[in-house]
């Protein structure tokens, strides 16, 4: 996994801002994985990047209450 953001223990909107920063440097087709335990993120992060940036997001619950959100830049 080349682009990984560890946002455990951080509240909104820090995960979104961190992911926006990384995504800006990526080329189309590249991905970033954001790991978070903030339950709102699986709604707010995916919504933000799909609707506003046109990315494709995939959410995986890797443990109870911890999610990895894969964001693909289009």
Partner 1 sequence: MTVGNLKPTVPSPQKSSHFLPQYQWGLVIIAVNIVLLLILRAYCPRELYPWAFGLLFGFVLQRSRFCFAAAFRDVFLIRNTVLTRAVILGLLVASLGFLLLDFLAPGVELISTMGKVHPVGVFTAIGAFMFGVGMVIAGGCASGMLMRMGEGYLMQWVAMIGFLVGSVFGAWHLGWWMDSFISEAPVVYLPNLLGVQGAAVLNFGVLGLLFILALAYESGWKTFSVGVRNASGFIKANPKANPKANPKANPKANPAHTSGEKAAPGGLYRTFLKKPWPYYVGGVLLAVLNVALFALWGIPWSITSGITYFSGWLSSLAGFSPQEWAFFQEEIFWEGHCVLFDYYRSYYMRFPLVYHFMAIIIGAFIAALLAGEYRIRKWRSGRFVVSAILGGLLMGYGARIAL
Q: Does 48 bind partner 1 (CB under 8 A)?
A: yes
CB of 34 to partner 1, least distance (A): 9
Q: Does 71 bind partner 1 (CB under 8 A)?
A: no
Q: Does 31 bind partner 1 (CB under 8 A)?
A: no
Residues 50/24, Cβ–Cβ less than 8 Å: no
Token pair for 34 = 């954001």
Binding stretches for partner 1 (CB under 8 A): 1-13, 16-18, 20-22, 25, 32-33, 35, 37-40, 42-44, 46-48, 50-66, 68, 74
């Amino acid at each position: 996994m080349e682009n990984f953001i560890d946002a455990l223990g951080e509240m909104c909107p820090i995960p979104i801002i961190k992911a926006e920063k990384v995504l800006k440097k990526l080329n189309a087709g590249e991905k970033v994985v954001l790991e978070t335990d903030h339950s709102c993120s699986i709604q707010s992060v995916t919504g933000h990047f799909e609707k506003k940036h046109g990315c494709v997001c995939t959410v995986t619950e890797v443990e109870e209450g911890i999610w990895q959100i894969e964001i693909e830049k289009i």
